[in-house]
Chain A
Amino acid sequence: MVTGASTADLAVILLDARKGVLTQTRRHAYLARLIGIRDVVIAVNKMDAVGHEEAVFRAIDGEVREFAAQIGLTSVAAIPVSALNGDNVAARSEAMPWYKGPTLLDLLETIEPQAAAPAQAPFRMPVQWVNRTTDFRGFSGTVAGGSVRPGDAVRILPSGRSTRIGRIAGFDGDLAEAAAGQAITVTLADEVDCSRGDMIAAADDPPGTADQFEATLVWMDEEPMLPGRSYWLKIGAATVAATVTGLKYQVNVNTLEHIAAKTLELNGIGVANLALDRPIVFAPYEENRDLGGFILIDRISNATAGAGMIHFALRRAHNVHWQHLEVNRAAHAALKGQTPRVIWFTGLSGAGKSTIANLVEKKLHAAGRHTFLLDGDNVRHGLSRDLGFTDADRVENVRRVGEVARLMADAGLIVLCAFISPFRAERRMVRAMMPAGEFIEVFVDTPLEEAEQRDTKGLYRKARRGELANFTGIDSPYEPPENAEIRIDTTALSAEAAADLIIEALSR
């Protein structure tokens, strides 16, 4: 329903005169409103079955108006029809002389389709494609708002560089003007940087840029939405990494109630805050579907996992600028005479992560390196005291640890992290936080049978007895790394030998 509605100008909702307004009618009207459809027609069908009674229709019409007002739909029309004989569909009904309004077809023909992109607005064009030949450099895209002429002053966003439009190159000669909805190619007067994902916009009225938003999310994947997990966000021609930083509430689409929730399941709709890894150019969805509608893509399955509609940017993005510190990352590292690193140990519970990480830290310390070890023992009791072992909590735990490790690496330290961290997506997220080459993934590869047999902490026995829920390897999945920098086979190597192997790899 949401998918089809995203490109529709108008919705016709069919209801049965005998049954009146159903939950399903409300849900469909709500979704139409959510996706920004302005005109909704309610076709009250099967009027023949209620004796073509005016009173029945009036009652339904009244109810429709009431809930339309409730959800903020401004243009709703109800029409009494009978599909059986085509009454009030294409031809006026003789059985319902009391109805003086238009037939369904008349109404469809009189409603002006909404332009997909607003014409009376400042110029915006997301750059889809850079068109280069030996003597031509143009920028192609579909105009997402306003219009443009050669000579117009424009700004390239998010960089903010100013220039002017040169030509609008058309297949049958240059164009004098191009308007919203047209797919065009423009040249720029200056050699400014501009590539796919950037936006060319009116210089005197550019759109906002931000990296944090509040948005409505519609979830479309079997895998539930997990706050803290990293997704690809595609908006216009830009694709960036994004995480949901918090789900404010989920909407019960039948009752429109707001309910507290931590995740969104398939078909769930909610309002959430998102943080991106870099700023994007945007407009609120209400103003512009092309600049405010986005999809979220699962980074592992590549499925289109959700869709979103931007409400507004969160102030923080504007105001909390990264302090440009005098004593920066490089200075910290230089004073310590080392390259900062995050060495990330992943593997099953009891695999030997903590043992090996401890040995590595001792050896590094002895060699005069500045290190710090983060593991379940010092994190779970403080920083992540409020988290349990559900998928959502595991994701959040790893995200927090990742952020702390990143700050410590910024301080110049070699940070050792020993966490089960069962999901590829989160390990990849932490990797993405770090400069290339500074994240080293160590897969402590111990088969489940072996770990279970060692069972140093007695946890596997407990889990098998059902006393520990969500235990990795038993009733919660572990996704082994596909491209770990270092793999340790603990059935073949002693912990000492493993530590030496890691130190050896670090010095290369």
Chain B
Amino acid sequence: MPADASILPHLQRLEAESIHIFREAAAETERPVLLYSMGKDSAVLLHLARKAFHPAPPPFPLLHVDTGWKFRAMYEMRERAAAAAGIELIVHRNPEAEARGINPFDHGPLHTDLWKTQGLKQALDSHGFDAALGGARRDEEKSRAKERVFSFRSAGHRWDPKKQRPELWRLYNARKAPGESFRIFPLSNWTEFDVWQYIERERIAVVPLYFAAPRPTVERDGLILMVDDDRMRLPPGEAPVERWIRFRTLGCYPLTGAVESRAASVAEILAEMRSATTSERRGRAIDRDQAASMEKKKQEGYF
């Protein structure tokens, strides 16, 4: 294939499918928004959105549902990426969570529920977004394996398994009544490995925390956490330990486990992945909280 000869046919197929989904989403919904969380999947998603609508900018804004507890490097990436794409960036912070000082140390699962799940619903409702494009992939974990590309949400953002629509060929049914909405996942058929290969080939900028480096860390419940700022709670006498680490997924820093690694480039990450088989979401404290509860989180509207 002439101009894109450097792309593997496999990646090219995935890319074309995602672009197709973006265009369907833009054409068939009234007010779509791209959920942007600064991670590698968001980076790929944003890149594909730009490709889909080039030379025009993507016909939707970016939305970041913030918790105030992301890694500092992620906030830097957020401003840069939005500016580069020429897209409006909306940042939403749940005022209730803010007022009540909800944080990952004292509030456990409530932190995720209030900041992320409720925060997302508030943001979608207050702006009248009827379609939220996100970077979830089917390979991430079991409950997502059967998720649709156009995932239907009843009024109130409820995910009802009986209302999900069969998806045949490249035909997506985006019809809905007022108050109903869609979550749309253009990366559904990508694997973590595909994402990294694509980042490599397209030279997409990602947060440096994905690459191994010596960083200050502590251990909590078997997770290696990075001490990203002085809000990390250390008992008297504990000092952070420097370890070579990188992250496979990025979230709130006190809840996101690192892996020990020396992989400092995309090529080295790919090499490491070829010999590993664990799920990237293993590093997330929220998923381990209630292992079988992802299904429940989805029904409640967590992404």
Contact = CB atoms under 8 A, between A and B. Distances in A.
Contact of A129 (B3, B23, B171, B176): B23
Contacts of A170: 3-4, 54
Interface string B1-21: 111100000001101110110
B56 A131 contact: yes
B16 A142 contact: yes
Contacts of A183: 15-17, 19-20, 23, 52
Interface in A342-357: none
Contacts of B56: 131-133, 136
A293 B26 contact: no
B54 A3 contact: no
B190 to A, nearest CB: 15
Contacts of A128: 20, 23-24, 27
Interface string A182-223: 110100000000001000000000000000000000001000
B169 A7 contact: yes
A2 B175 contact: no
B160 to A, nearest CB: 12
Contacts of A7: 168-169
A140 interface: yes
B24 A182 contact: no
A302 B23 contact: no
Which of B19, B50, B176, B177 has most A Cβ within 10 Å?
Answer: B19
B170 interface: yes
B203 to A, nearest CB: 10
B166 A304 contact: yes
Contacts of B167: 3, 304
Given A142-B170, A183-B52, A303 B165 contact: yes
A322 interface: no
A304 B173 contact: yes
A133 B54 CA distance: 10
A176 B168 contact: no
Nearest to A299: B175
Interface in A71-122: none
Contacts of B27: 128-129, 196, 237
B237 interface: no
Contact of B173 (A136, A171, A182, A234): A234
B170 A295 contact: no
A181 B4 CA distance: 13
A297 interface: yes
A173 interface: yes
Q: Which of B55, B167, B171 has the most CB of A within 10 A?
A: B171
A307 interface: yes
B53 interface: yes
A304 B20 CA distance: 19
Given A131-B53, A169-B55, A185-B54, A142 B168 contact: no
Nearest to B189: A7
Contacts of B166: 2-3, 220, 304, 307
B66 to A, nearest CB: 29
Interface string A217-243: 000100000000000101101000000
A141 B16 CA distance: 10
B55 A302 contact: no
A289 interface: yes
A293 B1 contact: no
Interface in B14-69: 15-17, 19-20, 23-24, 26-27, 50-56
A153 interface: no
A235 B169 CA distance: 10
A182 B169 CA distance: 15
A479 to B, nearest CB: 15
A307 B165 CA distance: 12
A295 B12 contact: no
Nearest to B19: A183
Select the residue from A133, A170, A183, A185 with max chain B CB neighbours within 10 A.
A183
Given A136-B56, A140-B23, A307-B168, A179 B1 contact: yes
Contacts of A297: 173, 175
A295 B167 CA distance: 9
A294 interface: yes
B302 to A, nearest CB: 25
A3 B163 CA distance: 15
Interface in A131-153: 131-133, 136, 138, 140-142
Interface string A269-294: 00000000000000000000110011
A272 to B, nearest CB: 17
Contacts of B24: 128, 237
Contacts of B23: 128-129, 140-141, 183
Contact of B169 (A169, A171, A289, A302): A289
Contact of B3 (A141, A173, A235): A173
A181 B16 contact: yes
Given A170-B3, A177-B2, A2 B52 contact: no
A293 B172 CA distance: 12
A237 B27 CA distance: 9
B177 A302 contact: yes
Nearest to A129: B23
B26 A129 contact: yes
Of the candidates A2, A170, A232, the one having the most CB atoms from chain B within 10 angstroms of its own CB is: A170
Contacts of A133: 55-56
Interface in B119-177: 163, 165-171, 173, 175-177
Given A289-B169, A293-B169, A293-B171, 11 more contacts: A128-B27, A129-B23, A131-B53, A133-B56, A172-B3, A176-B2, A177-B2, A182-B4, A234-B173, A295-B171, A295-B173
A-B residue pairs, 3 tightest by C-beta: A183-B19, A6-B168, A304-B165
7 contacts: A129-B23, A170-B4, A171-B51, A176-B3, A237-B27, A297-B175, A302-B177
